[in-house]
């Protein structure tokens, strides 16, 4: 069985703060760049547990997007994507408090190029990993059974 994951690919910039966020001042942190996006992450985890997966999404015409696609490909994910030459690859700033609480600041970037291919049902986006029950606009193979 192959699972298709249609949706976002992001570069997560994760800042693990040593203390409370000091508004208007410096807040020391350890910062890491990691792969993100629910569809890309789902495809990666499926492949790690032995399920064939295909990621379908969009990236910007930049090194960040290429790097994320190469990472997915190295894991064994079949990557199919569109390059948006007008927007950068999506990025999400993730602030992690010492308690583990996360605050996310996303910029969807090139993921917006997918809006024409993802239908919306009752205000809820449909994707290969999540479909809206009773939706008649979702492709039949994505509808919950």
The DSSP secondary structure of 90-123, one letter per residue, reads: EEEEEEE-TTS-EEEEEE-GGGGGGTTTS-EETT
Question: Can you state the angle between helices 63-75 and 38-48, rounded to 10 degrees?
Answer: 30
| Under 8 Å between Cβ of 78 and 128 | no
pLDDT at 115: 63
Please tell me whether residues 76 and 143 are part of one structural domain: no
CB 115, CB 107: distance < 8 Å: no
- Which residues span the domain enclosing 122? 115-145
Residue 46: the pLDDT is 96
User: pLDDT tens for residues 118-144?
Assistant: 544 434 444 444 444 444 444 444 433
Q: Are residues 87 and 19 in the same domain?
A: yes
Are 15 and 42 within one domain?
Answer: yes
* Count of domains for the chain: 2
**For residue 140, what pLDDT is reported?**
43
pLDDT at 114: 81
């Amino acid at each position: 069985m192959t699972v298709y994951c249609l949706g976002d690919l992001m570069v997560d910039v994760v800042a693990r703060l040593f203390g409370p966020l000091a508004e208007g001042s410096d807040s020391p942190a350890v910062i890491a760049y990691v792969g993100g996006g629910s569809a890309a992450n789902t495809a990666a985890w499926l492949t790690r547990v032995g399920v064939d997966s295909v990621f379908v999404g969009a990236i910007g015409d930049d090194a960040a997007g290429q790097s994320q696609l190469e990472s997915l490909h190295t894991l064994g994910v079949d990557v199919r994507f569109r390059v948006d030459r007008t927007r950068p690859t999506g990025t999400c700033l993730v602030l992690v408090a010492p308690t583990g609480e996360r605050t996310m600041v996303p910029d969807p970037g090139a993921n917006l190029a997918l809006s024409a291919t993802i239908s919306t049902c009752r205000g809820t986006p449909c994707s290969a990993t999540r479909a809206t029950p009773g939706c008649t606009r979702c492709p039949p193979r994505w509808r919950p059974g």
